Amino acid sequence: MYGLDPTELRVLKRLNTPAKIQDFLDALPQNHEPDGDSCFSPRLVLRHGRAHCIEGAMLAAVALRLAGEKPLILDLTSTDDDQDHVVALFRRHGHWGAISKTNHAVLRYREPVYRTIRELAMSYFHEYFLQSNGKKTLRSFSRPVDLSRFDARGWMTSEDPVWFVPEHLCNVAHTAILSRGQIATLRPADALERRAGEIVEWTKPA
């Protein structure tokens, strides 16, 4: 099915709810990219046993697809001095939720309680800040992207990096969430928030 081998299908078919997918991603070590920038396909994530945010989002999208849902992801964009974040999307009872691979205590799973994509994206706003100075950096979100558009390019099982996925995310329409006036008056995250932000799930190897 979808070019996945029996072992891959066995692992992924067990992840038949968003909660199970999130638990699997949480237990998967963070990909600190020891060999340089990576964009693993879901097959390579399972093989290497590690993932960062977009790699985790793509694996979650495959698991959702095998459970009968669309393989949707969402791009959250930041200022140039921070990093974008990508999550997998799902719906329950007409509301949106998100599955997220992150190494930090925030920007994580979202329960399906958000009526719109904007509501869900904004749930990440206050905790999306630079550790160094507390600057809040979330600036826009994309429309949902259905990864089935890349089936012909083998995004699920590629043995090569799937950079065409993040490249596409850079080019899709995004919705800005702040005006210039709002940006100018943002209050930085305070010292306690920043200390809490130092918590990581997987320590980077020395």
Confidence of residue 1 (pLDDT cuts 50, 70, 90): confident
pLDDT the model gives residue 13: 97
pLDDT(155) > 80: yes
Among positive and negative, which fits the CA dihedral 141, 143, 147, 152?
negative
Least confident of 32-46, 119-133, 192-206: 192-206
Give SS3 for 20.
helix
Distance between alpha carbon 161 and the CA centroid of its chain, in Å? 17
Partners of 175 in beta bridges:
141
- Asked which of 109-118, 136-145, 192-201 is least confident by mean pLDDT, the reply is 192-201
**Contact (Cβ atoms closer than 8 angstroms) between residue 18 and residue 64:** yes
Q: What is the pLDDT of residue 139?
A: 98
Q: Which of 78, 25, 72 is nearest to 51 (CA)?
A: 25
pLDDT at residue 206, rounded to an integer: 74
Mean pLDDT of 42-65: 98
Looking at residue 205, what is its pLDDT? 84
Quote the pLDDT of residue 182: 98
**Contact criterion met (CB below 8 Å) for 186 and 149:** no
Q: Give pTM, 2 decimals.
A: 0.96
Over residues 116-142, mean pLDDT:
97
Report which residue type is found at 200.
V
**Is residue 160 packed enough to be buried (19+ CB in 10 Å), middle (13-18) or exposed (0-12)?**
exposed
Give the integer Cα–Cα distance in Å for 161 and 185: 40
Please give the full DSSP string across 25-92, using - where no structure is assigned.
Answer: HHHSPB---TTS-----HHHHHHHT-B-HHHHHHHHHHHHHHTTS--EEEEEEE-TTS--EEEEEEEE
d(CA 71, CA 87): 11
Q: Which residues, at least 6 apart from 184, have a Cβ–Cβ distance to it below 8 Å?
A: none
pLDDT at residue number 77: 98
Q: What percent of the chain has pLDDT over 70?
A: 100
| Whole-number average pLDDT of the chain | 97
Calpha distance 164→173 (Å, rounded): 16
Quick one: pLDDT band at residue 126, thresholds 50, 70, 90? very high
Contacts of 128 (CB under 8 A, 6+ apart): 76, 78, 82, 85, 106, 107, 136, 137, 138
